[in-house]
Amino acid sequence: MQTEQLNGVASKPAYGPVELNPKSSFHLFVAEQLLPKAMECLYDACQPNEGRKEKAVVEDASDPELRNLLATFPLNGTLYLAGTEPFLWRVASHARALGLCPEQIRLMAPVTRERHLFCCHCHTITEGVTYSPYACSGCGAMLEVTDHFSRLHGAYFSFQANAEDSADMPEQREVN
């Protein structure tokens, strides 16, 4: 079945343990809410010989303050991010646009397993999703949640669950 195939797509990000980059001259720790414990530990463990370190809480991924911090980012800096998955990837994509390389952006495992869903019918992003199917906040369609993740949108691809047979609504299941 189509659904199973789509759910087999392996674009769901995997998050390994985050390590400090000892060669960096600037370490920037950014969290969406209070710095999670794991990030505090990392921050404390960071003892740059010559470099600097800084931490910031930024609720909005497009926050101008964050942009300012990144604007003066050195070529050998490292950015550490903590927060929800959409936040991580939105900040990461801003950082990429400013010129950071992928290995300069280190993501800690998301603090919740809530997903953002991208509806392929109306293009609305629905937030806080933990089970499938889930009603689209834009068009109301019951959406099948896939593991196909867009790093650009920070959201999972989803489509009408009972598109072929309106009577055939899949059973609700949790997504992790």
Q: Applying CB under 8 A, which of residues 23, 165, 167, 173 lies at the interface with another protein? A: 23
- Tally the C-alpha atoms within 13 A of residue 77's C-alpha that lie toward its C-beta: 21
User: What does each C-alpha distance from 28 to 4, 38, 51, 140 come to in angstroms?
Assistant: 40, 15, 11, 40
75: contact with another protein by CB under 8 A:
yes
Site for another protein contains 102 (CB under 8 A): yes
User: In which residue are the tokens 């290995």 written?
Assistant: 103
Looking up tokens 């099948």 gives 144
Minimum CB separation of residue 97 from another protein in Å reads 8
Residue 103 engages another protein in binding (rule: CB under 8 A): yes
Q: Segment near another protein (CB under 8 A), from 9-17, 95-103, 112-120, 125-133? A: 95-103
152 binds another protein (CB under 8 A): no
Least distance (Å) between residue 67 CB and another protein:
13
Residue 76 interacts with another protein (CB under 8 A): yes or no = yes
Compute the C-alpha angle 71/77/83, nearest 5°: 80
**55-74: which residues touch another protein (CB under 8 A)?**
73-74
Q: Give, as one character, the DSSP assignment of residue 113.
A: -
Pick from 17, 155, 148: nearest CA to 90: 155
Residues at the contact surface with another protein, assessed by CB under 8 A: 21, 23-25, 73-77, 96, 98-104
